[in-house]
Amino acid sequence: MPQQRRAQATRRAIVIAAAEEFDRADYDATPLSAILRRSGVTKGAFYFHFPSKEALALALIRLQAQSWSRLWRHWMRRGLDPLSTAVGMTGEATRMLESDVLTRAGTRLAGQQVGTAAERHAPPDWEKLLAELLTRSADNGLLRAGVDPGAVARVMHAALVGVRAIGFEYRNGPGMAARITEIWRVVLEGIASAEWLSNNDRSRP
């Protein structure tokens, strides 16, 4: 166990270098050699830690799935009202995407056909999560009458994915987190109850 100190470091180096490379290009367009060069790890060492390039990508995907799970649990436990939870959680998720290569690469890889669908196993389903939070918001009277929570969930999901894609591709403009804040501002204006809006005036940290 203490023996594995060096091994752990090597494995970590591989994962980080891989994240940085997979963040720049597709799975297919990223040669293993680039990851090896960046991490300063030889082929032999790599294949000691991972059975294949694909396994490495799947590891990244799994890491990112875990990140989201942790994030969700954390926000659920904070005990905020569902609408604030949705806003806050998506905001933090976006900031994570901006700041954490590992999460970013994992998310990106999850959207490509790497490995069998089974191996990627159930990607984190933002749409369903948002639908739940918004339904509960409606039940608690945080949404205006007549607003369809499912529709709003789909809107926000699309916007989230879009912001991510724009952030990945264009890499300029307001920055992902700012964009998400802006989107919530516009959408909330149309769906949130007057009461919720007045209570959460201009606080979207």
Partner DNA sequence: ACTCTCGGGACTCCCCGTTAAT
Partner DNA sequence: ATTAACGGGGAGTCCCGAGAGT
Instruction: Give the footprint of DNA on this chain (CB under 7 A).
Output: 1-7, 9-11, 30-33, 41-45, 47-49, 51-54
Please return the burial class of 173, using the count of CB atoms within 10 Å of its CB with bins 0-12, 13-18 and 19+. exposed
User: For 159, how many CA atoms within 13 A lie in the half-sphere containing its CB?
Assistant: 22
**Which of the stretches 50-58, 69-77, 86-94, 162-170 binds a copy of itself when contact is defined by CB under 8 A?**
162-170
Q: Which is nearer to DNA, 112 or 135 (CB)?
A: 112
Give the span between the Cα atoms of 185 and 159, in whole angstroms: 13
Q: Pick from 155, 175, 197, 204 the residue near a copy of itself by CB under 8 A.
A: 155
CB under 8 Å, gap of 24 or more: what pairs does 164-168 form? 164/94, 164/97, 164/107, 167/97, 167/98, 168/104, 168/108
Q: Is 135 in the site for a copy of itself (CB under 8 A)?
A: no
Q: Is 119 in the site for a copy of itself (CB under 8 A)?
A: no
Q: Is 7 in the site for a copy of itself (CB under 8 A)?
A: no
User: For 116, how many CA atoms within 13 A lie in the half-sphere containing its CB?
Assistant: 2
Instruction: Sketch the per residue contact string, 13 through 42, with a copy of itself: x for CB under 8 A, - otherwise.
Output: ------------xxxxx-------------
Q: Which is nearer to DNA, 34 or 76 (CB)?
A: 34
List residues binding a copy of itself (CB under 8 A). Answer: 25-29, 111-113, 127, 147-148, 151-152, 154-155, 157-166, 169, 173-174, 179, 182-183, 185-191
